[in-house]
């Protein structure tokens, strides 16, 4: 009788703050007007890809949270 081997799940990639989004294009992500961040409410001159005021770190945290929630829902409910 041969032993069965269990497949290991691939390792979860670790989220490193500051590496998820690329905002190097200043013209696309900078405004001369300060507005409140859509996530934390603090003033910022940064804009996300939809030109909404957002700090890069706040936007990355929101994306990481959404990804984690989607993964949890997938594991609980399975693919649809």
Output the six-digit token pair for 65: 């949270």
Q: Mean pLDDT, to the nearest integer, of 20-43?
A: 89
Confidence at residue 36, expressed as pLDDT on a 0 to 100 scale? 98
Spatial contact of 5 and 12, defined as CB atoms under 8 Å apart = no
For the full predicted model, state whether its pTM sits above 0.75: no
Say if residues 32 and 45 touch (Cβ distance below 8 Å): yes
Report domain extents, the chain.
Answer: 26-77
60 CB contacts (<8 Å, ≥6 apart)? 15, 17, 18, 20, 21
Of 16-25, 26-35, 66-75, the range with the lowest mean pLDDT is 16-25
């Amino acid at each position: 009788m041969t032993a069965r081997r269990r497949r290991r799940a691939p390792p979860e990639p670790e989220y490193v703050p500051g590496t998820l989004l690329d905002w190097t294009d200043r013209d696309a992500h900078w405004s001369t007007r300060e507005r409140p961040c859509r996530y934390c409410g603090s003033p910022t001159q940064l804009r996300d890809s939809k030109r909404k005021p957002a700090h890069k770190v706040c936007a990355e945290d929101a994306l990481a949270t959404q990804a984690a929630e989607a993964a949890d829902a997938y594991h609980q409910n399975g693919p649809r």
